[in-house]
Amino acid sequence: AQSVAQPEDQVNVAEGNPLTVKCTYSVSGNPYLFWYVQYPNRGLQFLLKYITGDNLVKGSYGFEAEFNKSQTSFHLKKPSALVSDSALYFCAVRDLSSGQAGTALIFGKGTTLSVSS
Amino acid sequence: EAGVAQSPRYKIIEKRQSVAFWCNPISGHATLYWYQQILGQGPKLLIQFQNNGVVDDSQLPKDRFSAERLKGVDSTLKIQPAKLEDSAVYLCASSLNSVSTDTQYFGPGTRLTVL
């Protein structure tokens, strides 16, 4: 069965420092991977996705993510964190070979990013 | 481009009452999803529509939850009767089609509290 793990409930970084939010996945076939961000009392906003090709994916607001097939990981990164990046981050996967009827995403439980000034 | 619209934003009801949520997807998006997000968890699919047909409702508690998308545009999700464990944020999302690479865009959600 498909699954996504976000091993850290919370990540704390200082403004200006690089940040990494970790995600590992488990699928039976080739994964399609997504990152979303959720601000308080708002819906999920799309950041980036990996479909195929270059393992380094660039997304919105200066975020990027690196796909690593051997480690089944898709970590979210940003070279220099901003206080405004503080939010809840979700990793999600879609597996074409899962046999599921639809194209719904399977989400991790989320990681709270806190950036201090 | 207008995003996914949902209403109401907040709803408080007592257990055993009924409640309905409304969603209007991004214009031109054929695929619509309803997700349930319980506090401290990631969203989980309840139902997926392609136009006005159901693609996946395998995780919808059909004894109390129902959803429709009669004209293939906006959608309504209903709970009747509500239970305490239904307290959650109900998120609607839409995508251009049911292609696996399509990005899903989410609305702001409806926060339901069942007392």
pLDDT digits (tens, 9 = 90+) for A63-75: 999 999 999 999 9
The confidence band for A100, taking pLDDT boundaries of 50, 70 and 90, is: low
The whole-number pLDDT of residue B36 equals 97
Q: Does B25 touch chain A (CB under 8 A)?
A: no
Tell me if the bond preceding B81 is cis, omega within 30° of 0. Answer: yes
CA nearest A32: which of A14, A53, A7? A53
Shortest distance, CA B82 to any CA of chain A (angstroms): 22
Q: What is the pLDDT of residues B38-88, one digit of tens each?
A: 999 999 999 999 998 999 999 999 999 999 998 889 999 999 999 999 999
**Which amino acid is residue B49, in one-letter code?**
F
Six-digit token string for B25: 């997807």
Q: Which of A34, A92, A101 sits opposite B58 (nearest CB)?
A: A101
Q: Which of B55, B58, B107 sits opposite A43 (nearest CB)?
A: B107
CA nearest A7: which of A74, A52, A64? A74
**Which amino acid is residue A111, in one-letter code?**
T
Interior CA angle at B102 toward A98 and A40, to 5°? 100
**The pLDDT of residue B1 is above 70:** no
